[in-house]
Chain A
Amino acid sequence: MIPHEHYVILSAILFSIGGIGFLVRRNVLINLMSIEIMLNAVNLALVAFNRARPEGHGGQMFAFFIIAAEAAEVAVGLAIVLALYRLKRSVRSDEADLLKN
């Protein structure tokens, strides 16, 4: 059986990759995908912790609700990307400066 820290370490690595991608890239689509990577990493950690304590299904239930919330987030986020593109003809996140000044 795989030790359960391996899953936690993999989850931390994936979370860091997602965070770095979110901070460094400026394409809004890739920023959204980086958020997906981070949430997937969190789901993996939750399921691994639940596997270590299999008396209940708390972690898996939490991961289930994260998946539901993320579906909502992606729908609204992609709608915002389309609206930004309609206004600015660009998908770069630093073009979204409508609230500047």
Chain B
Amino acid sequence: MNPIGLAYFYACAALAVFGAVTTIWARNPIRAAMGLLLMILSIAGLFLALHAQFLAVIQLIVYAGAIVVLFLFVIMLLGPSAVAPRDQRGLYTRIFGGGLFAISAASALFLVVRGGRLAALPNPGHDFGGIDAFGRVLFSDGIVPFELSSALLMIAVIGAVAVARGKQIDKTGTAANAITASPATSPTEQGEE
């Protein structure tokens, strides 16, 4: 076994697990986003070790370049209220759910570890995972899902704009407030309208 490859794998794996634990542990969402960024970078490194160069680049561009930045923008918009106040309600229920999930995951992991050894990895072709071979497959076998995913992204952009624009949401919010609000506050809101 190649010691350099092994050390690279374990370094990337340790960084990925550390980043994931930071993400779910952090109280401040900025720290969680930085942990997510660390995990994404380490997984891009693992993709490189798995002969998936094109996917590693896509991972860097889409996740680290777009998704984490989108998270940071939303955290910036929310400001200090992005940190939810500490609340112990339902803590035991949540920990019970998480523990149940952890136990089932550990048993599945045990089955994977106990299972038979797989054969040695075959040697891939010289252009396996590169943009040339990958693009050929993507535009021949995967052309229908490719076009469908472009439609999905278009619909998602329109939906995100429609949900986040908030003009209608503000109106319904004021309407709901006017129904339920106390008489002292409702005239000022109607006056603003």
Contact = CB atoms under 8 A, between A and B. Distances in A.
Majority secondary structure of chain A interface residues (helix, strand, loop or mixed): helix
Given A5-B113, A71-B153, A78 B71 contact: yes
Interface residues of B, number: 94
A37 B39 contact: yes
Interface string B49-88: 1111011001100110011001100110110011111010
Nearest to A53: B122
B36 A33 contact: yes
Contact of A82 (B51, B52, B90, B166): B166
Contact of B160 (A17, A19, A78): A78
A16 B50 CA distance: 22
Given A17-B17, A82-B74, A24 B97 contact: yes
Interface of A: 1-10, 12-21, 23-27, 29-30, 32-34, 36-37, 40, 43-44, 47-48, 50-54, 56-57, 60-61, 63-65, 67-76, 78-83, 85-87, 89-92, 94
